[in-house]
Amino acid sequence: MTFGGLGCNIFNPALAGRCFLLVSFPAQMTSWPEAGQLAQYADATTGATPLALIKAGQFDQLPDVVTLFVGYPGTLNTGAGCLGEVCELALLIGLFYMLWKKIITWHVPVSILLTVFVFAGIMHWINPTEFASPLYHLASGGLLLGACYMATDYVTTPITKSGKLLFGIGCGALTFCIRQFGGYPEGVSFSILLMNLLVPYLDRMTKTKPFGAMPHRKEAKSHE
| pLDDT tops 60 at residue 47 | no
Query: Dihedral angle at the C-alpha atoms of 44, 49, 53, 55, nearest 10 degrees?
Result: -120
The region of weakest confidence among 9-18, 33-42, 89-98, 136-145 is 33-42
| Per-residue model confidence (pLDDT) at position 78 | 47
Rounded to whole angstroms, the Cα distance separating 165 from 180 reads 23
The mean pLDDT value for 189-206 works out to 92
Q: What is the mean pLDDT of residues 170-192?
A: 89
What does the pLDDT look like over 56-114, one tens digit per residue? 777 777 777 887 787 754 444 444 566 667 778 888 999 999 999 999 999 999 999 99
pTM of the model: 0.81
Contacts 24+ apart (CB under 8 A), 89-93: 91/144, 91/145, 91/148, 91/149, 92/144, 92/148
Residues contacting residue 167 through CB under 8 Å, at least 6 positions apart: 108, 111, 151, 157, 158, 195, 198, 199, 202
Summarised one tens digit per residue, pLDDT across range 135-162 is: 888 888 888 999 999 999 888 899 999 9
Helices assigned H by DSSP within 40-142: 50-56, 65-70, 88-100, 107-126, 134-139
User: Which one is predicted more confidently, 146 or 51?
Assistant: 146
What is the rounded average pLDDT of the residues 198-224?
A: 70
